[in-house]
Structures are given as structure tokens and as C-alpha cells.
Amino acid sequence: MSKFPSLKNHLLIAMPSLKDANFSRSVTLLCEHNADGAMGLVINHPLDFSTSDLLEHMEIPCSHNHNINPVFAGGPVQVDRGFVIHRADKLWKSSISLENNISVTTSSDILHAIGRHEVDDDAIIALGYAGWEAGQLEYEIMENSWLTVPLNPEIIFSTDIDKRWEKAAELLGVDITTLTHTSGHA
């Protein structure tokens, strides 16, 4: 990984040429990136059920009126495992701190707090995660599969889901919808 600095705390933006259904037009929050590989959560592929539906399935008390946010397909690895991306006003039993006052939590205590409305709407639940082996992400970036931009809370929490891909690329000054589906190397 000597050529690449850590991309932890970055958003990974899929190039139009990336056809893998798990990542097509995706924006992925990179939670970890080191010599052993990378781990991230897709933040713009909603599933067909809401936070309320998930909490009800887990038998966690919840007022359906307030937790209507969708649950996201966080990636193809361990799709039965949940992750909550949230503002870091409080750290929970199992939280990873990121930049810009954002954390990722995997413990169920935060789900109970969401059901009780102790966590505001700045919380995204994702099932599964994206993982890359050592050197794999770097190779994919060199193959023009991804763009990267520093983590931006506005993209995660304030941008419409169907606009996150375009808006993340705009942070780089790129209109991603005009990019070609083929790439070349000089």
C-alpha cells in the first residue's frame, strides 16, 4: 500500500463502468483501509424495508411513525450483520469513530435507542459490508473503477438517496453522468 495513503474517512464513488450490481452507481463510506485491506458501507442502495420494519423483525419496540428511513444494502459480505452510521454525539458499546463527528456502531444498544427515538434522523442502518483484500482496492482504483473524496456528512445525512452518487462526484468537480463507460491508460 506504499503508493496509496489510507482512504479511511473517504467516500468511494463507483465509476459508470463498474457493472457489479452490488456497487453500480454506489457511494461507499470507507470505515477502514490499511495494509490488510479495506472495509466500507454502501450508503445509497436502499433495501425494500424501513428501519421500523427491521426493528419490528428484531422485536425491538419502535414507534412506526418516526423510523421510516430505509435500511441499506451495505455490501455483499455478511449481509445478516448490521451497521449504524450516525453522528457521534454518544459512543455505544461497539463504535468506530470516523472524522467529522461520525461513528459506525455494530452493537444492538443503538438499535434500542433508535426505537426509543434517542438517536435523531442522522442515523443510517446498513446490512452487510463491502470488503477488499490487501491491495485489491488500490488495484481497482488504478483500473479506474472508483473515484475518492474525503468523507462529507452532507452526502451521508442530508442528500437525497438517489442523488448521493452525483453529489459525491460533484465534490470533485465532476459530472459523473457525462463520464464514459470505457477507460484507457496512458
The domain segmentation of the chain, as residue ranges, is: 10-178
Between 28-42, 94-108, 171-185, the lowest mean confidence (pLDDT) is in: 171-185
Model pTM above 0.85 = yes
Q: Within 10 Å of residue 53's Cβ, how many Cβ atoms?
A: 17
Q: Which of 3-7, 120-124, 165-169 has the highest mean pLDDT?
A: 165-169
End-to-end CA distance of the chain: 22
Q: Which of 3-12, 64-73, 96-105, 139-148 has the highest mean pLDDT?
A: 139-148
Q: Class assignment of domain 10-178?
A: alpha beta
Residue whose C-alpha cell reads 463491502 in the numeric block: 130
